[in-house]
Structure formats: C-alpha cells, structure tokens
Amino acid sequence: MIKLEYFTPADFSQLITWIHDEYLLMNWSGAMFSFPLTADKLAWYVEDTNDLAASDAFIYKAVDTASGATLGHISLGGLSRKNRSARISRVLVGDTGTRGRGIGQAMVTEVLKIGFEQLGLHRIELGVYSSNEAAIRCYQKSGLTVEGTSRDILNYDGAYWSLVEMSMLEHEWRARSAR
C-alpha cells in the first residue's frame, strides 16, 4: 500500500502544490508556517532531521508502493530520548483522490511502527483540531486514545480552534501489533 521515505528538499514542490490555501496550511501546521508556503520557508524544516542516531525529528513522505506516487506527508518530532517519547505532526494526505481509502491510517501506523520498533519509544502523541473529525476517526482507527482537549488554543480568522490530544503507549502498540 504505502511506504514512508524521508522527505527532502526535492519533495518541497509537491508539498507546496498540496497546500493551496491558508485554511489547509493552518490545519496542517498550525502557526508554524505562513501562507503561501514556499521552498525558502521549508528549508529550515528539514535541517538536522532524519538521522536515526541523532535527530529529534523525522519527516516523511508517503509513497504508493505500486505506482511510486507520493500521496502524503507525516512527521515524528519532539523526540525525547530520555523520556522515550515523540509527537506525530503535520499529517496530510495530499493526493485528494486517495482520501478516504485508508492512506492516512497507513501513514500513522507506519510512523508508529518506526517510533516504537526502531526508536524504542514508550509514548507517541499528537494533537488534532477538533473540527477535523475525519482525522480524529483516522487516528482512533490507528489505535490512538483521546486524552483530552485543549480548548480555544488557536485563533484563526476570528474563530477559536480547540486541539484534541491523543496518544499511544508502547504496551498498546505491542498488543495491537500482536493481533
């Protein structure tokens, strides 16, 4: 179905074409980037990433194993080796024609596998805006548990957005992957 490969500057243009409006950018990255997204704005994003031995962030593109097409983007960052924890962020199924087909769930499952099996993490968390019900369902299907909601965390276009916090622990991953 999909495999995760490291996201590099060669992938910037694909991501930029997917992020075609400010609302989508805000859902994807919060206030991390400003619209329009450009290669210059993305340059710092990949610095010091994707080194299993030393990095605290891993950024991936999701590639269809049959066609070789890039379908999405996901990152695992905020890595704390001391606490054995990290945070999934910037999840996007960019190819709109593949949305609703399990690509997002496959991406999340693959990044969970990397986190728990390659990096030896104990906890992986994420935050998703409460209005993004499809993403919340995707993350729940991937096995993440809702922990709570940070209310009115972001003011966008005169409205406040709340953030649903979700996580999975190492023993939950082991039980899920044993099935």
Domains of the chain are 2-126 (3.40.630.30)
* Burial per residue of 16-48, b for 16 or more beta-carbon CB atoms within 10 angstroms, e otherwise: eebbeeeeebbbbbbeebeeebeeeebeebbee
Are the C-beta atoms of 85 and 124 separated by less than 8 Å?
A: yes
The tally of CA atoms less than 13 A away on the side-chain side of residue 46 is 17
The answer to whether 77 touches 32, Cβ cutoff 8 Å, is no
Global model pTM greater than 0.85: yes
| Cis peptide upstream of residue 36 (ω within 30 degrees of 0) | yes
Over its length of 179 residues, how does the chain's per-residue pLDDT go in tens digits?
Answer: 899 999 999 999 999 999 999 999 999 999 899 999 999 999 999 999 999 889 999 999 999 999 999 999 999 999 999 999 999 999 999 978 778 889 999 999 999 999 999 999 999 999 999 999 999 999 999 999 999 999 999 999 999 999 999 999 999 999 999 98
